[in-house]
Amino acid sequence: MKRTLTLLLAAALMFSATVLSSCDDADDIIDPDDDVLENLVGDTDDDVYVTIAKGGIVLAYEDVDLRDADNDGTLTVSDALYLAHEEKYNGGASAGFASEMSDYGLSLTKLWGDESGSFGYTVNNVSCMSLADPVKAGDHIVAYVYTDTATWSDIYCYFDKAELDINENAQFTLALTMNTYDAEWNTVQIPVEGARITINGNTTDYVTDANGKVTLSLTDDAIISAVSDTMTLVPPICSVDVD
């Protein structure tokens, strides 16, 4: 009997030693941050992109890690804007952003410190019904303060590409489109002709043609936008990374 117990103990010790030896190499242990684990649970990248305009662009295609900031069980425009202010506005969201329930749903009452109440916001260039509109990973949220509060002539417009990676001096073409409305208030997309392109806030000689298109090249990273002599444009944006 003692011999049997001795053999069993010896076998157990040998097994334990084998397991510990196999774990000596840290590479053999799955780390919670390991790519293998990420592949098992799927892509957890919930980033959205936020642009805010207040006269000019104050936040340009900012990468925001989306989460349920207000704990209402959904991911919304409100969450994206709140988090963008929390990260980038001086004083955080409590200083620069506010909302309240109204007859139209959850409404924006403060944007980038502005409390005029004259705001617009879109998701992927489509106007929102309220701040409670849902958003998902990869969406581009644009919020802006109206500059013309008399006739509300500000026109929302956008490039066909919000982000580009290009080689230095390589030519690329952007198309500028504006959202307007027909007699029944249906959204209509129209090319923006004659808009002058700005690069990092500086006006250039590049001008959009009758189809809203313009071809240009860059040597450095830039934020591209546009202005017009005949229209009040909500600043469009294309964030360009140059290799």
In the chain, where are the structural domains located?
A: 47-151, 156-242
Which pLDDT score is estimated for 45?
A: 62
Q: d(Cα 126, Cα 105) in Å, to the nearest integer?
A: 17
Average pLDDT over residues 171-175: 98
Asked whether residue 24 carries a pLDDT value surpassing 50, the answer given is no
Asked whether residue 16 carries a pLDDT value surpassing 90, the answer given is no
What does DSSP say about strands 238-242 and 163-166: parallel, antiparallel, or unpaired?
A: parallel
Which pLDDT score is estimated for 26?
A: 41
Percentage of the chain beyond pLDDT 70 is 81
For the domain with range 156-242, which CATH number is right: 3.40.470.10, 3.40.50.920, 2.60.40.10, 3.90.550.10? Answer: 2.60.40.10
Asked whether residue 21 carries a pLDDT value surpassing 80, the answer given is no
Average pLDDT over residues 57-66: 97
DSSP notation for the chain:
-HHHHHHHHHHHHHHHHHHHHHTSSGGGSPPTT-HHHHHHH-----EEEEEEEESEEEEEEEEEE---TT-SSS-BHHHHHHHHHHHHSTT-HHHH-EEEEETTEEEEEEBTTB-SS-EEEEETTEE-SSTT-B--TT-EEEEEE-S-TTT---EEEEES-SEEEE-TT--EEEEEEEEEE-TT--EEEEE--SPEEEETTEEEEEE--TTSEEEE--SS-EEEEEE-SSS-EEPP-EEEEE-
Average pLDDT over residues 55-71: 96
Asked whether residue 32 carries a pLDDT value surpassing 90, the answer given is no
Does 47-151 match 156-242 in CATH topology? Answer: no
Instruction: List, for residues 64-114, the tens digit of each pLDDT value.
Output: 999 999 999 999 999 999 999 999 999 999 999 999 999 989 999 999 999
Asked whether residue 180 carries a pLDDT value surpassing 80, the answer given is yes
For the domain with range 47-151, which CATH number is right: 3.90.850.10, 1.20.58.220, 2.170.130.30, 3.40.50.720? Answer: 2.170.130.30
**What contacts 16, CB < 8 A, 6 or more positions away?**
none
Instruction: List, for residues 182-212, the tens digit of each pLDDT value.
Output: 888 888 999 999 999 999 999 999 999 999 9
